[in-house]
Amino acid sequence: MDWERILLVASHVGVIERLMETSLAYARTRSQFGQPIGKFQAVAHKIADMKTQLEAARLLTYRSAWRLENSRSASLDASITKLFVSETLVKTALDTVQIHGGYGFIAEFEVERALRDAVGSTIYSGTSEMQRNIIARWLGL
């Protein structure tokens, strides 16, 4: 499961990056009230958060993969990484839908599909609740 959890989320890091880039491109080109929506701080901050969480998710995944290769146990790292990356993916997908407004909700754009796929990531390979149980157990709780 350590191996599965770390490698699964490596692909999710790629999806988070794609969603961030999709949101960025849309925020630069979609205009409302005479300016690109990316000029509105409420929109820009969502994308700034996506970038911040993307880089954190990437580093966490690299570190866990290194530990998987070089340490005796990577269970705690695997749970922390699975929890953080999958919940970041859901948040990023939800914010991507929000940034796309009505277009984010309709099936012609692939944004709503990304959100549906993202939700599964907090369920398979151990739900978020189970990852928190594992982390708490490692902390002696």
Catalytic residues: 4
The binding site for ligand FAD (CB under 6 A) comprises: 120, 123-124, 127, 129-130, 133
Complex with ligand FAD: residue 44 or 130, whichever CB lies closer = 130
What values do phi and psi take at 88, rounded to 5?
Answer: -65, -40
Nearer to ligand FAD, 104 or 126 (CB): 126
Q: How far is the CB of 121 from ligand FAD (least distance, A)?
A: 8
Q: How far is the CB of 93 from ligand FAD (least distance, A)?
A: 14
Three-state DSSP state, 36: strand
Instruction: Tell me the closest approach of the beta carbon of residue 73 to ligand FAD, in angstroms.
Output: 21
Toward ligand FAD, which CB reaches closer, 38 or 126? Answer: 126
Question: 59 or 123: whose CB is closer to ligand FAD?
Answer: 123
The per-residue DSSP string of the chain comes to: -HHHHHHHHHHHHHHHHHHHHHHHHHHHH-EETTEEGGGSHHHHHHHHHHHHHHHHHHHHHHHHHHHHHHSS--HHHHHHHHHHHHHHHHHHHHHHHHHTHHHHHSTTSTHHHHHHHHHHHTTTTS-HHHHHHHHHHHTT-
